[in-house]
Amino acid sequence: MGIEHLFSGSALSAVDARGAMSLPPFVRGVIERRTDGRAVTFGVHEADPCLTAYDRGYEHDLHAELERRRLRDAVAGTKADTHHARARRAFGLAEDADFDGAGRIMLPAMLRALGKIEDLALFVGAGRTFEIWNPQIARKAGGPDLRVLAEYRLGEKSALEGRLAR
């Protein structure tokens, strides 16, 4: 995968009762440039109360990163259980979904529940991956920049104006 194709940007998308939503253009464009397919892998973020997502080609990079961490942990004397827990989180709590030509995709039910995604999804570019947040959780659990981003995307422009006034 080329480093020139990174997920950069943010957007808010409506999510219907079945979990259908539209991928924002900044997500669709990167996936279409990186791969021949129209598939997204959804997973649980390692540290934050959100989902992480990427194209299928990223799985190899993810596996390589987990292996680097396993080797580093082995040298440090960390129990193998740490590696196994990371691997299960990265690959066991992940599901693929295809999107159509208009960018419509079904968020898998298990991931939707784990990410607490309700009627809105906040997409946030994170370089090689992107995050999907419940915007209300992003307002509360995220750092100041994520909070301002969530509030802005929710139409609360006063949050951005307040930040700019500082």
Q: What is the pLDDT of residues 91-145, one digit of tens each?
A: 888 999 999 999 999 999 999 999 999 999 999 999 999 999 999 999 998 789 9
Please give the C-alpha separations between residue 41 and each of 33, 65, 97, 105, 118, in angstroms, as whole numbers: 16, 17, 7, 11, 19
Residue that wins the pLDDT comparison between 2 and 10 = 10
Give CA torsion, residues 44, 2, 61, 110, to 10 deg.
20
Which fold is adopted by the domain 10-56+96-165? Chemotaxis protein chec (3.40.1550)
Other beta carbons within 10 Å of 93: 14
Give me the percent of the chain exceeding a pLDDT of 90: 60
The neighbouring-strand residues paired with 7 are: 127
Q: In the prediction, which pLDDT does 1 show?
A: 42
Residue that wins the pLDDT comparison between 43 and 37 = 43
| Alpha carbons 44 and 53: distance in angstroms, whole number | 8
The CA-to-CA distance between both ends of the chain, in Å, stands at: 39
Q: In the prediction, which pLDDT does 56 show?
A: 82
Q: Is the pLDDT of residue 2 over 50?
A: no
